[in-house]
């Protein structure tokens, strides 16, 4: 059995981008984008296509945050069902958000095609898998809600469900044909390459230390340089650090981990998710399941394992795999990694305009691949034309999450206890 190492699979299999130096001088831009994830990169592309000068700053490297470390599901909609979205936001605003995010997967795949991004993109749908009767009822409701809105979704049961999922442990699965899967690191780095080809200036290893409003614009400071920009977009998500803005108070941080096997090559492995969908189950502490193009099995769940021993991680992965796919026998797990998610109490994102010419977003709640793509473009359009009514959501007032740090700790403790119960075969 090989050593189980802490490394992100997507980073391991994706070519590194061309080197870009840290900002070490004073530069000017029409828009300074802070954060080199999917949101910031898509915003930069939209601005550059409209002829604007763009400087993009990233505290680390393109893709090393949540944009490049996630499961790679290209999901439609929000975490919560569409009826609940409209109940929370009102029919007009909620209906617009459902429409925008329902069409978001198509925006992702169109962008991939337009810029020739090689990222294992598959527009074959996703599967939301019911693990018990309550899960079946939830999926039936979600299916009806989306079908009422004209979405191409179908509830699979019986032999068809087993055929798609590759397991008899799932009673029903919601197939969303709008959705799909990608290698998220390759998608993010591909967006970064597009920004550079369009003439954008990208500076990595350039964390922002200060943000000051000046006459007619903004001054963005780093350790060795500064950007004088007419406007600024902050898109740092769960990886926001420092006291130069108040964005950290608008969400609480959560974690998500994944474990990847070595490539599997057998008839039994080929039957697992054989139609190409990525999936996740209806457990309160969910498990995500997908394959990559090399045949690896990827399992994931809420919480973190970067602070846990290898034996614990192996036993957790073995427990999930043997429950759903016992026909695979003993799996050789190769690597594991953990990423951060910016959560909000209502599971809905928030858009902010703290001052004229300054916009920000947070609270994707684990739906960043699609949400970041359409929100980045929408915020860029707002900076270009100032039409707030065309945004997916209205800007909201400063809305700090109470006891954000405590929420993070409580959730993580709960996830760790649940996973310990899985390892000890007390719960599943």
Q: Write the pLDDT tens digit of every residue in 352-364.
A: 999 999 999 999 9
pLDDT tens for 120-147 read 999 999 999 999 999 999 999 999 999 9
Residue 52's pLDDT band (cuts 50, 70, 90): very high
Residue 2's pLDDT band (cuts 50, 70, 90): confident
Q: Average pLDDT, stretch 379-387?
A: 97
Q: Average pLDDT, stretch 377-392?
A: 97
Question: Would you say 210 and 228 are in contact if contact means Cβ atoms under 8 Å apart?
Answer: no
Using a pLDDT cut of 90, give the percent of the chain over it: 94
- The pTM (predicted TM-score) of the whole model is 0.97
Q: What is the pLDDT of residue 398?
A: 83
pLDDT averaged over every residue in the chain: 96
pLDDT tens for 82-124 read 999 999 999 999 999 999 999 999 999 999 999 999 999 999 9
Q: What is the pLDDT of residue 246?
A: 86
Q: What is the pLDDT of residue 147?
A: 98
Is residue 1 predicted with pLDDT exceeding 80? no
What is the C-alpha separation between 76 and 122, in angstroms, rounded? 14
Q: What is the pLDDT of residue 18?
A: 78
Q: What is the pLDDT of residue 421?
A: 94
Q: What is the pLDDT of residue 89?
A: 97
Fold that domain 5-423 belongs to in CATH: FAD/NAD(P)-binding domain (3.50.50)
pLDDT tens for 249-301 read 999 999 999 999 999 999 999 999 999 999 999 999 999 999 999 999 999 99
CA 354 centroid distance within chain: 24
pLDDT tens for 288-335 read 999 999 999 999 999 999 999 999 999 999 999 999 999 999 999 999
What is the C-alpha separation between 296 and 259, in angstroms, rounded? 10
Q: SS3 string of the chain?
A: CCCCEECCHHHHHCCCCCCCCCCCCEEEEEEEEECCCHHHHHHHHHHHHCCCCEEEECCCCCCCCHHHHCCCEECCCCCCCHHHHHHHHCHHHHHHHHHHHHCHHHHHHHHHHHCCCCCCCECCCEEEEECCHHHHHHHHHHHHHHHHCCCCEEEEEHHHHHHHHCCCCCCEEEEECCCEECCHHHHHHHHHHHHHHCCCEEECCCCCCEEEEECCEEEEECCCCEEEEEEEEECCHHHCCCCCCCHHHHCEEEEEEEEEECCCCCHHHHCCCCCCCEEEECCCCCEEEEECCCCCEEEEEECCCCCCCHHHHHHHHHHHHHHHCHHHCCCCEEEEEEEEEEECCCCCCEEEEEECCEEEEECCCCCHHHHHHHHHHHHHHHHHHCCHHHCCCCECCCCCCCCHHHHHHHHHHHHHHHHHHHHCCCCC
What is the C-alpha separation between 227 and 178, in angstroms, rounded? 40
pLDDT tens for 157-166 read 999 999 999 9
Q: What is the pLDDT of residue 148?
A: 98
pLDDT tens for 184-243 read 999 999 999 999 999 999 999 999 999 999 998 999 999 999 999 999 999 999 999 988
């Amino acid at each position: 059995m090989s050593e189980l190492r802490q490394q992100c699979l997507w980073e391991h299999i994706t070519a590194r981008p061309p080197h870009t130096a840290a900002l070490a001088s004073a530069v000017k831009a029409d828009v300074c984008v802070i954060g080199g994830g999917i949101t910031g990169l898509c915003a930069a592309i939209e601005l550059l296509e409209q002829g604007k000068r763009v400087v993009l700053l990233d505290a680390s490297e393109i893709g090393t945050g949540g944009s490049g470390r996630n499961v790679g599901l290209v999901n439609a909609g929000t975490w919560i069902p569409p009826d609940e979205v409209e109940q929370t936001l009102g029919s007009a605003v909620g209906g617009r958000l459902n429409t925008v995010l329902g069409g978001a997967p198509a925006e992702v795949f169109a962008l991939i095609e337009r810029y020739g991004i090689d990222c294992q993109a598959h527009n074959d749908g996703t599967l939301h898998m019911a693990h018990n009767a309550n899960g079946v009822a939830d999926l039936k409701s979600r299916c009806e809600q989306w079908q009422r809105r004209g979405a191409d979704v179908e509830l699979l049961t019986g032999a068809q469900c087993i055929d798609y999922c590759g397991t008899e442990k799932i009673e029903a699965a919601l197939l969303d044909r709008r959705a799909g899967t990608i290698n998220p690191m390759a998608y993010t780095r591909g967006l970064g390459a597009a920004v550079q080809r369009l003439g954008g200036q990208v500076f990595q290893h350039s964390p922002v230390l200060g943000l000051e409003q000046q006459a007619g614009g903004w001054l963005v400071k780093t350790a060795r340089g500064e950007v004088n920009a007419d406007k600024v977009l902050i898109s740092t998500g769960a990886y926001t650090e420092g006291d130069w803005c108040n964005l950290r108070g608008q969400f609480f941080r959560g974690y998500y981990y994944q474990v990847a096997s070595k490539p599997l090559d057998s008839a039994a492995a080929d039957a697992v998710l054989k139609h190409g969908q990525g999936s996740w189950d209806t457990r309160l502490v969910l498990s995500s399941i997908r394959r990559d193009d090399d045949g690896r099995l990827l399992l994931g769940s809420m919480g973190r394992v970067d602070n846990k021993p290898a034996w614990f991680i192996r036993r957790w992965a073995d427990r999930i795999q043997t429950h759903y796919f016992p026909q695979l026998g003993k799996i050789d797990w190769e690597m594991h990694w953990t990423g951060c998610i910016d959560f909000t109490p209502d599971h809905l994102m928030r858009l902010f305009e703290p001052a004229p010419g300054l916009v920000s977003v947070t609270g994707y709640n684990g739906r960043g691949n699609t949400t970041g793509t359409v929100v980045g473009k929408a915020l860029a359009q707002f900076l270009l034309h100032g039409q707030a009514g065309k945004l997916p959501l209205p800007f909201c007032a400063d809305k700090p999450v109470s006891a954000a740090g405590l929420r993070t700790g409580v959730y993580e403790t709960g996830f760790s206890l649940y996973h310990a119960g899985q390892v000890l075969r007390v719960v599943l």
